[in-house]
Amino acid sequence: MAQKAAKIGKIRSVTNWINGACRDAASDRWADVFDSATGEKCAEVVMSSAADVDAALQAASAALPGWSRTPVLRRARIMFKLKELIERDRAEIAALITQEHGKVLHDADGSIQRGLEVVEFACGIPHLLKGEYNDQVGTGVDTYSMRQPVGVCVGITPFNFPAMVPLWMFPLAISCGNTFILKPSEKDPSCALKWAELLTEAGLPPGVFNVVQGDHVAVNSLLSDARVSAVSFVGSTPVAEHVYKTASENGKRVQALGGAKNHLVVMPDADMDQAADALVGAGYGSAGERCMAISAIVAVGDSAEPLLEKLLPRIEKLKIGNGLNNDNDMGPLITAEHRDKVRSYIDIGEEEGAKVLVDGRTHEITDSPGYFLGPTLFDHASRDMRVYQEEIFGPVLTMIRVDTFDEAIQLVNDHEYGNGTAIFTRDGDAAREFANGIQVGMVGVNVPIPVPLAFHSFGGWKRSLFGDMSIYGPEGVRFYTRLKTVTSRWPTGIRAGADFSMPTM
C-alpha cells in the first residue's frame, strides 16, 4: 500500500487521500486501530478536522467539471481496470479486512466478491445511462431525456464491511460522472486507502476519488457544506437519522441505511436441517456483525423442538478463533467495548427471563487473546424484551415461539426495523403470502441472507432506511444522477413564426 500505510505487521499511519495522493492532515487528533483477534494496536488513523474536509472538497469540486464531461466509455474503462486490480490484490485486501475487522478470511473474501459485483455492474454504465427519446411529440418537435451527474457525492460507511459497503457506493457514483469523498469507519480505515490506490492505478484522474478519515467531526463538516450534492450513509439507525435529517435540511439528496433485527420464520413443514444450517451461518457468521444477519428466530407451531434438535449440535461444533485461520467459522468482535456491550445483552436477556440455551459468555477461546465471545442462543423470548427489540450486532440468536403463521407475520411487521427477513417452508402458498404481506425490504424464501445481487438494489424499510432510494443497482444509478428532459424544435419550426400561447403539442 502507499506511503503512509505500510504492510500488515507494522503499525500503519492511516491518513487522508486527497487529489491523487496520501496527504498529511491538518488535524493532530489520532485514534488507535486494533487487530481484533490479538487485541494489539495495528494502526493509527487521523481524525480529520474541518480544514481537512475542506481540502478534500476543494479537490473534488475542482475535478468535477472535467470528470463529468469525460466520455462515458472512458469512465467505464476505469471500472474494467479496477475490476482487474481488485482481482489481482484480493488476497491482500482480505487479510487487511481480517486484521482490522476480525472476520474469517473466507468471509472477508466473500465480501470483496459481493463488492466486486457492483464494479462489474458499473462496467455497463454506458448502457445504464441511456435516456429515452420520442420523436414528433408535436409537429417538428422531439423530446429526449438524459441522466446527468449530481455533483460531489459523499459516502459514510460502517465498520462491519470496510471493503464491500464503500464498493456499494463509489463505483456507481464515479462511473455516473460524479466526484466522491469517502469517510470510512475509524475502526477499520485501511481498506479505503487501498481503493484510492487501485483507482489511481486504474487511471482515475486526481480529485475524482478522495478519502477523509475520522469521526463525527468530519461527517458533520461534510453534511453542512454547500459543495456536497448527495450523501450515501450506511451505519446504525440513530446516526442514520441524524445524517438524513441534517443533510436533507441542507438541501442534499440522501440515502441513509440503518440498523436491523432480521427474523427467520421457521414453519413446521420446513426442512429442519436446511433451516438449522441457515441459522448458524446467518446468525453467527461474521460474529453476527452483519446488517443482514439473522438475529431473531420465529418458531411457528410445533417447529421449535425439531429445530432445536438440529440447531444445538451445530452451534456446539462452531469453531471460533483468529480469522487468519480459514478453518474457523467465526472470529472476534470489532473492539473490546463492542464485545462488552454484546456480553451485557446476554446478562440483560437472562434478567428479562429469556432462557439461555447456549451461553457465549462461558465459551473459552484458546488460539488468540482478542475480543472474542462465543455464540449465544436464547429461547422463550417475548416481544417486549430488549434482547428481541434492540439490535445487538453480535453472535446472539433470540427465539420467539408463536402459534400461527399470521402471528409470525404480525410479529415481523410490528418490529421497528425492516431490513431483511426469511421464511423456511415447503409450502408455496405460505411463502408467497409471506413475500407479499411482509413489511420488510429484502425477503428470502429458504434463503437466510437475501442480499440482492448487484443488478438489483439493496435497501430496507421502516427504520432501516431513511430516504427514497435503495443503494446500488438501478436505484443506485438513479440516486447518483438527475433527470434532464429536453424538448427541441429545429429551424423550420422557428420559420413558422412566434407563438404566444401555451404550447400544447
* Number of residues lying near ligand NAD (CB under 6 A): 29
Q: Is 260 in the site for ligand NAD (CB under 6 A)?
A: yes
Q: Which of 172, 154, 254, 170 is nearest to 214 (CA)?
A: 154
Member of 178, 185, 255, 328 binding ligand NAD (CB under 6 A): 185
Q: Which window, 8-16, 104-112, 216-224, 272-280, contacts ligand NAD (CB under 6 A)? A: 216-224
DSSP secondary structure code for residue 372 in this structure:
-
Binding mask 288-327 for ligand NAD (x = CB under 6 A): ---x------------------------------------
Residue found under cell 415447503: 426
Q: How far is the CB of 214 from ligand NAD (least distance, A)?
A: 7
For the CB of residue 459, give the shortest distance to ligand NAD in the complex, in Å. 8
Q: Does residue 157 belong to the site contacting ligand NAD (CB under 6 A)?
A: yes
Interacting residues of 487 by C-beta distance below 8 A, sequence separation 6+: 137, 141, 142, 143
Is residue 298 within 8 Å of residue 69, measured between CB atoms?
Answer: no
156 scored as a contact of ligand NAD (CB under 6 A): yes
464 makes contact with ligand NAD (CB under 6 A): yes
Taking CB under 6 A as the rule, does residue 259 contact ligand NAD?
A: yes
- 239 near ligand NAD (CB under 6 A): yes
**Is residue 191 among the annotated active site residues?**
no
* Stretch of residues binding ligand NAD (CB under 6 A), selected from 9-17, 32-40, 254-262, 263-271: 254-262
Residue 236 touching ligand NAD (CB under 6 A): yes
Strand partners, 471: 458
Number of residue whose CB is nearest ligand NAD: 235
- Considering the complex, what minimum distance in angstroms separates the CB of residue 451 from ligand NAD? 9
- Binds ligand NAD (CB under 6 A): choice among 215, 269, 350, 407: 215
d(CA 456, CA 419): 15
Block residue for cell numbers 470510512: 184
CB 314 within 8 A of CB 276: yes
Kindly name the residue from 22, 153, 191, 291 that is annotated as catalytic.
291
> How far apart are the C-alpha atoms of 346 and 359, rounded to whole Å?
8
Strands across the sheet containing 376-379: 355-358, 376-379, 396-402, 294-300, 262-266, 420-424, 442-445
Angle at Cα 271 formed by Cα 266 and Cα 274, nearest 5°? 90
Write the binding mask 419 to 458 for ligand NAD: x where contact by CB under 6 A, - elsewhere. x---------------------------------------
**What does the chain come to in residues?**
505
Helix boundaries (H) for 21-156: 50-68, 72-100, 105-122, 125-128
Which residues of this protein are in contact with ligand NAD, per CB under 6 A?
156-161, 165, 183, 185-186, 215-216, 219-220, 234-236, 239, 242, 257-260, 291, 391, 393, 419, 460, 464
Residues serving a catalytic function are: 291
